[in-house]
Amino acid sequence: MNRDQTTIILGAVAAVLLWGCGARRVAGPTPPPSPDLIVLLPDPDNGALGRASVSTPSGTVDLIDARSATQVLANRPPTPPSVLEEAEVRRVFGDALAALPLPPALFNLYFKFDSDDLTDEARALVPEILQVVTGRPAPDVVVVGHTDTTGSSKANFELGLKRAGTIRNLLIQAGLEASLIEVTSHGEADLLISTPDETFEPRNRRVEIAVR
């Protein structure tokens, strides 16, 4: 079975093992094994849907539609695909889906030219970001600083790091533990808007924040 990176495949397998000492009592015939249920679900982060190929020595089926499912039993080909109702997916896989982590929240904060001062528009977003971060039970925050292409690569790396540090300090002041924040800089190496060297571009003067 192949797993596309934008696809979640959930399998439900029921099995019970009994261990005992002394004489073994057999209450009746052994029940037949339960089949594995394989379901194709959209990516919870962006809703994208890939596809999956489910194979056994006896055959193969392709799952291409949202909530399409097949059952797999040893020595038999997978059953023809069928689409489960949303309620059935929640009934069977509700606990597993509830245990999935929240999708990351992504933010861009922009800075004034050649400084680590936020623009007025970016500063207005800070309370929303703090609310998202502090609302997660165990937040993991990655802060990446960027610059435009004016100045040297070395100076821009340092400026990107300084900008990321500014955001880190704001998060710490809001009560987030410092060890939960990863800070790095890409300087001018990862432009949001592609430009030639020595080009003023406000959209490249930014910090990207990913909250997981």
Q: Which domain holds residue 124?
A: 105-211
Which residue, of 47, 77, 98, is where some domain finishes? 98
Q: Are residues 111 and 203 in the same domain?
A: yes
Task: Establish if 1 belongs to a structural domain.
Answer: no
Q: Are residues 55 and 117 in the same domain?
A: no
Question: Which residues share a beta bridge with 184?
Answer: 144
Which residue, of 83, 98, 113, is where some domain finishes? 98
Total domains, the chain: 2
**Tokens linked to 160:** 């990107």
Per-residue pLDDT for the chain (212 aa), expressed as one digit of tens each?
A: 444 433 444 443 333 333 333 444 555 566 777 889 999 998 876 778 888 999 988 899 999 999 999 999 888 899 999 999 999 999 998 888 877 777 889 999 999 999 999 999 999 998 999 889 888 888 899 999 999 999 999 999 999 999 999 999 998 988 888 999 999 999 999 999 999 999 999 999 999 999 98
N- to C-terminal Cα separation, the chain: 28
Q: What is the rounded CA–CA span in Å between residue 46 and residue 23?
A: 56
Q: Are residues 119 and 76 in the same domain?
A: no
Task: Establish if 2 belongs to a structural domain.
Answer: no
Q: Is 10 exposed, middle or buried (0-12, 13-18, 19+ CB in 10 A)?
A: middle
pTM (two decimals): 0.62
Which residue, of 69, 98, 127, is where some domain finishes? 98
Phi-psi map region of 110: left, alpha, beta (phi>0 left; psi -120 to 50 alpha): beta
